[in-house]
Structure 1
């Protein structure tokens, strides 16, 4: 397992970091299938029973040290964790912009350069998001789920299904994997279920997981909640522009109206991405990260 002492990056800032497991047989980045995966197991597995947990990352992907550390924490709690490469080797571009101290009062030219750099990075992010939509991501995830059901059938059976957690980008796909969707959405032939709900005779499948927990989601819409059929626990940031309060509140309302079990824990005064391990100077964020992990872990273990 990775060493928690090396969690020295702030959340969502290590997209291009490369790391690997230090203990053979315990954790691995498996590139042998059509899609790589970071796999981390409890120390006593397979001698002791485990449960299968699908870990869906933010844009930083499976080579992020912080994401690997987060997966290892779940493994230490008894889950066999599979963290798939949702992005097929194409993590999100690094979008941090730092103004040097010497440029406390930047000139017009310096401001122009910063604005151009910011626009270029926004363009790269937009292009990256266009490459990674449900059309491309869902088929990858279902391919991995098919493989793990065979390779780790004991863990799937022990948990009576597959558990899932998702952070940032991955949070949306916890909802989608917990939904009953038309077959052509699952296979990537259609982007969403928005136009299908009134169509008759359509083959629908799912859900693919038994329960899900998510943290500070991105690109989540009200419609993503409409077909959810599994219990969902959500860690959220108050006033998060990437997962607006009104979307969260409407999503909770939709699930409750359907009689679906849901809970949400809202954190004020913390940044988006806080629930992923990182080197935080603010003790409030450190404490919130630990509490959020305990809430998500408790949700999984209670289901």
Structure 2
């Protein structure tokens, strides 16, 4: 694997202040957060595949709104059918027991239905995929023609080497210096795999942060706040190049 299994750090973090500007509607029976750019265009789109805290987490909704402000139509579905993990999960909670109900067999039909809706009915011509932690695995699995046109993941988890070898589009990765899931060894393995491929790729390393920083860092700490903001800027710059310009 190029990133390890989910662990305790995948459920911990800080709650951010703000008011979401998007709206939650259903795609079939899938609860989905939508955020629109100022011109309401849906041609350049971003599909956010969340961490285990899910699509109703205010931190991720605020990020979706930021992508919309940058000119993208954003779609963020509930990947967990109402079974997202609470932030700073309750005592005794087993993330690996939870994961047994959220494997590709349960997750991919949701992503398939959402992508079909985006391509066929919502007018999305090009789609970038954003994967935080849990979602990073599926950015890699779906980074193929007709699915995702470009990908970005921050502190990915659960990614297997063959999944990374199978990506067929531009991929950008934001990594934390202290990460028990996307470890230094796993990052180096990822670099070796990507360097053998013909696709554009990028891996940025951020100091003073841990797994989850791009979504759940402590914004009262300046270096963490800066890293989160720069990881977001990294994603927008990547999509401006490989989604909007194509």
TM-score tier by shorter-chain length is 0.7 to 0.9
- 1:56–1:170 CA contact under 8 A, matched in 2: yes
List per-residue Cα deviations over 1:264-286 (Å, max 9, x = no partner).
Answer: 00112212111126552211001
Are 2:64 and 1:71 equivalent residues in the alignment? yes
**Superposed displacement of residue 288, structure 1:** 0.8
Other structure's SS at 1:269 match: strand
Structure-1 residue corresponding to 2:120: 150
SS in structure 1 opposite 2:100? helix
Residue 209 in 1 paired to residue 148 in 2? yes
Residue equivalent to 1:282: 221
Q: 1:170 is matched with which residue?
A: 135
Which position in structure 1 is the counterpart of 2:38? Answer: 43
State how 1:161-240 maps to structure 2 within 5 Å. Answer: 161-179=126-144, 208-240=147-179
Separation (CA, whole Å) in 2 of partners of 1:95 and 1:255: 34
Residue 109 of structure 2 corresponds to which residue in structure 1? Answer: 139
Q: Is the 8 A contact 2:46 2:73 kept in 1?
A: yes
- TM-superposed CA distance for 1:131, in Å, is 0.7
Unaligned residue ranges in structure 2 (runs of 5+): 1-9
> Which one has more relative contact order, counting CA pairs under 8 Å at least 6 apart?
2
For residues 286 and 20 of structure 1, do their structure 2 counterparts lie closer, same or farther at Cα, with a shift above 3 Å needed?
closer
Runs (5+) with no aligned partner, structure 1: 1-10, 98-116, 180-205
Q: Which has the larger radius of gyration?
A: 1
Higher fraction of strand: 2
RMSD over aligned Cα, in angstroms?
2.6
Deviation for aligned residue 1:88: 1.2
Matched residue SS, 2:214: coil
Cα distance change on mapping 1:279 and 1:249 into 2, 3 Å:
closer
Query: Partner of 2:73 in structure 1?
Result: 80
Whether the 8 Å contact between 2:33 and 2:55 is mirrored in structure 1 is yes
Alignment of 1:90-129 (within 5 A): 90-96=83-89, 117=91, 120-121=92-93, 123=94, 125-129=95-99
Q: CA deviation at 1:146?
A: 0.4
| Structure 2 match to 1:244 | 183
Q: Judge conservation of contact 1:15–1:64 (CA < 8 Å) in 2.
A: no
- How far does the alpha carbon of each residue in 1:108-157 deviate from its partner, in whole angstroms, 9 at most, with x for none? xxxxxxxxx4xx22x3x22211111111111210111001112221xx22
Change (3 A) 1:60 1:16: farther
2:25 to 14, 27, 30: 30
